[in-house]
Structures are given as structure tokens and as C-alpha cells.
Amino acid sequence: MNAPSNLPANRVYNYAYLDEQTKRMIRRSILKAIAIPGYQVPFGSREMPVPYGWGTGGIQVTASIIGPDDVYKCIDQGADDTTNAVSIRRFFARVADVATTEQTEEATIIQTRHRIPEAPLQEGQIMVYQVPQPEPLRGLEPRETETRAMHAYEEYGLQYLSLYESVAAYGRIAGGAGYPVLVDERYLMSPSPIPKFDNPKLHQSEALHLFGAGREKRIYAVPPHTDVRSLDFEDYPFEIQSWDEVCALCNCDSSYKDEVILDDDGNRMFVCSDSAYCGERRKQGHSGPLAGHALDQLDQPEDAE
Amino acid sequence: MTAALSLQDIQPGFADPVYDAQRIFRRLMDAMARPGRIVDIDADIVPPVPGLEGLSAIALTLLDFETPVYLPRGEIGEALSGWLRFHCGCPVTTDPQEAVFAILSVTELLPISAFNSGDPKYPDRSTTLLLACPALEGGKHVSLTGPGIKEAAHIAPSGIPDSFWNEVMGDRSQFQLGVDIIMGTSNAVIGLPRTTRINEES
């Protein structure tokens, strides 16, 4: 909290932290990523002031696009108030002089680790994903030279085989996050470890989706109004997760839920993973079976900085 | 072989390189993400060639020592060459295959196949064409479909010869390879990334 401000009169870092040459290089990669939806563009990822795995790819993408007129939202597993989200949000508030928000509707740039907000995205919004492993085929083929050739020649039989083996072993296509998609019927893409619940939100979305993988040095994109199809079989169609329980705090029956263990006696509650969405619903007067629980108070907006 | 620059003749670039580049990049990104939409580029510069404000601002935003640029021959190329070398430090090339960016005018087009359309494993290494048009309306009507376009977009940039549209359609048939195109006037641009499928309207 005591780091120096980065306002124009007293710049400690360049605006938005990265130097201009790095921004240009990343901006060129973003444009090529948009021009070839789902294709992973290699880029010269820089060291960032957080370790790999904490969102270095997403931070570099955001730093290259953000301007003083933007309104920035950052979520981690759907929540605005977790450590990673809070520190990245403060980082950009400080180095890029941007307004921040927790409301999905107000944000122009939404940086996310592993969720797409429940509220529908709008035209003009940009989603920035923090991606640990951009290569959907990496678990099946460890060599980059091979996976690159598989993408070049649209050779995705191995991926279908893997889904088939899952059906043979478990009777369904298993796997809940990072479920592979085909973008514009051409490139196989990892949607990053978002739950497959969120995959349909990528299809024909109003927003632009940018994916940054810092350690793996790849950027890729899904433009608005682009076909994104989750892989499946005719007799084993793609399905998203569903819950028998409603949100214990806001009574929502359609959102993605987190399970929270309450005590040693096995008591638990299911709550919306999207904290801003859940908070908004409670403000509107919705209340679930555990409304008034101590956890109800935890996600009040943090004090303005 | 490049002659020494006469610095007195170099027009200034961005008034504020950081904020101006950011603003122009965002508008350009919007144009590429929503092909066919006419996007106001709001270029607040005085380029060496009048009428090229939009594309010159994009060049200042994206070009540097890593991006060889192909320029048109003649006076326009000369003027741009000195200005870009000074502000961006970019190599100027006469080989279109080597060009990461190319700045062209509709009056002196090269066949699209002259430019680099990328490698099957690295399709991002293709040339991006910055094409200067007299206007983004009033020409032959074409309709666009593909990623970034909800139903169909309709554009009619002027001054584009029929043969060029045919070449672009041919280029688009070899996706994932292809040349990405940004059409621009003094103040607006249309993005035509290689995914955009082009159909002639009768």
C-alpha cells in the first residue's frame, strides 16, 4: 500500500508498467491473434513483478491495451475479492491510472482467472484470460514441434481419441475445466481452465476475448461473433455442469456454484462463484436458504483506494 | 543503401507517444475484431504525405526495428521512408516477401501474392497490408462474413480495382495462410483480417 504512485507528474514506471517496445510487440501479436482466431501466436513474454502462474500473460495483454479511459475489473475464480484479483486490480489502478469496478456491466476490460462472468457480456467489452497452458494437445503430445504441425494440418484425431477413451472409461466425456473447443471450425483451442459451464458463453459472444500465457509465451484470441464449438460426439453430446442446489445466499438456480465446507460435521453450502453477480442479486432482494449467514458479509466491496 | 536523413525535413510524430499509440491501437484492434466496420482512427498527427494520417498513425503505433516495411516507390515512398525511419527505426525493404507491414496506395497496387502469406505452422508471420483508399464509401459494393461479423457487413471503399478484390478472394481461399488488410483514409479505417470472407454484390 505504500508503493509510490505512478501518476503522470511523478512517473516511476512507464504508463501501464511495460515499455513501449514491448507493448508494440504484444499489440502486433494481438492483431495477428484476432486475424487467426484460436491460433497461438508466439510472443516475447517479459518478466513481470509477479511469478509465473499468477497471471503474467493476462497482465501483459492488459498492460498493452489499457488506457486511462478504461474501467477495469479483475476476477479470480469468479470472485473480485480474492488475493490474486485484488493485487492485480491494485497494480493497474496504480500503474495505469484506471478506474476499477466489481460490476461486470461497468467494466471495459475484464481480466479473469478461470471464469466468465454470469452477466451477459456486451459489445465493446474485452475479456483478458490468464492462461497456464495454451496448448490443448500438450497432455497428449509433449513435443511443441509435433503439436504445431498438428494445428497446421488440422490433425485433431488424437484429441477425439482422448475424448473417446474418456467415454469408454467413464461412460461420459469427463473433465470439467479447460474443455477443448474448435474456433470457427478450424483451430483447436484451450479456453483456459474455465469450467465447461462457461464454454457456451464464448460462442457468438458480443465481447472480444484475448488469452495470454506468460510462461508459455503465447497469445490467442476469439473475436466477437465467432463460432466456438465444444468438441463432442453425436451420441455423447457436450453437456455443462448443473447443480441440484440453489445458491445458499441469493437463491440463484442457474449460476455456476462453489461448494463451501462450513464445519467438521459435514455441513456445506453452495454459493455462486461469481461474487459480483451474487451480491447484485442479494441487493435486489433475492435470498437463499442460508441468507444472513456470516459468509454473507464477506464480499462487501473493498474500501475505495 | 540509405542516404542520411535531413532532420529539418522530418515532420513530428505523436504529440504524446504513449497515450496516442494506446488510443490508436485500441481503435485499430476494434476495427480488426469487427471487420467491415468503419472505425474513426482520430489520428492527431501531420504526416509527411497529406491524406495518409490514419495509416501513418497506425504505422507509428506498430512499427519498430523488428518490422521491415515495404513502401511504394516514388515521392510518397521517399517521404514516408525518412519519416518512418526516424520515428520508428524500422528497416525499409523493397522485397514484399520480407515485409511485415506494407503501405500501399490503390493507385499503385502490387499483386497480393507478392506478399508473404505466412507459413502453415506460423501463419502469423504474414504481411499486414496498410492500403490507402481515397474514401471508404462510394466504390464497388462487397459483402463480408466471418468471425467478428454478426450477420453480414457491407462495404464500398472507393478506388479498389476489381482485379484486387479477385486476388483477395483467392488469397482468402488458402486460410490459415493469408495477408491481413487494413484499408484507411485520412481519419478512418476498415479492418479486413484474413478470416473475412468477401462476396461481390451485384
Count CB atoms within 10 A of the CB of residue A53: 11
Please answer whether residues B167 and B112 qualify as being in contact, where contact means their C-beta atoms are separated by less than 8 angstroms: yes
- What residues of B are in contact with residue A21 (Cβ under 8 Å)? 64
Q: Are residues B19 and A67, on separate chains, in Cβ contact within 8 Å?
A: yes
Contacts of B168 in chain A (CB under 8 A): none
What pLDDT does B3 receive? 64
Q: Do A27 and B25 touch (CB under 8 A)?
A: yes
pLDDT confidence of residue A298: 67
d(CA B195, CA B140): 21
pLDDT at A12: 82
B168 to each of A33, A67, A128, B43, how far by Cα in Å? 20, 34, 31, 27
The CA distance from B150 to the nearest CA of chain A, in Å, is 5
Tell me which chain B residue has its CA closest to the CA of residue A185: B147
Q: What does the pLDDT read at residue A9? A: 74
For an interface test with A, give the residue of B195, B196, B197 to mutate (most A CBs within 10 A): B195
**Which pLDDT tens digits describe chain A residue by residue (305 residues)?**
456 677 777 778 899 999 999 999 999 999 999 999 999 999 999 999 999 999 999 999 999 999 999 999 999 999 999 999 999 999 999 999 999 999 999 999 999 999 999 999 999 999 999 999 999 999 999 999 999 999 999 999 999 999 999 999 999 998 889 999 999 999 999 999 999 999 999 999 999 999 999 999 999 999 999 999 999 999 999 999 999 999 999 999 999 999 999 999 989 999 999 999 999 999 999 999 998 887 777 655 544 44
Q: Which residues of chain B have pLDDT under 70?
A: 1-3, 202
| pLDDT in the model for residue A1 | 46
In chain B, % of residues over pLDDT 70 = 98
First to last CA, chain A: 9
Q: How far apart are CA B67 and CA B69, in angstroms?
A: 6
Q: Chain B closest CA to A26's CA: distance in Å?
A: 10
Per DSSP, helices labelled H in chain A are 20-35, 56-65, 83-95, 144-152, 157-170, 199-202, 275-283
pLDDT at B1: 46
Strands B92-93 and B153-155: unpaired
Interchain proximity A24–B32, CB inside 8 Å: no
Instruction: Give the model's pLDDT for residue A150.
Output: 97
Distance from CA of A126 to the nearest CA of B (A): 10
Which tens digit of pLDDT belongs to each residue from A124-164? 999 999 999 999 999 999 999 999 999 999 999 999 999 99
CA-CA-CA-CA dihedral for B130, B132, B135, B136, to nearest 10: -10
Query: Which of B18, B121, B147 has the CB atom closest to A149's CB atom?
Result: B121
- Confidence (pLDDT) at A4: 62
Of A34, A64, A66, the CB nearest to B32: A34
The residue in chain A having the minimum alpha-carbon distance to the alpha carbon of residue B88 is: A21
Tens digits of per-residue pLDDT, A166-186? 999 999 998 889 999 999 999
Relative to beta strand A187-189, strand A228-230 is unpaired
Domains with residue ranges and CATH for chain A:
8-136+177-230 (3.40.50.11310), 242-305 (no CATH)
Chain A (145-204) residues lying within 8 Å, Cβ to Cβ, of chain B: 148-149, 151-153, 184, 186-187
Would you identify the CATH topology of the domain B16-195? Rossmann fold (3.40.50)
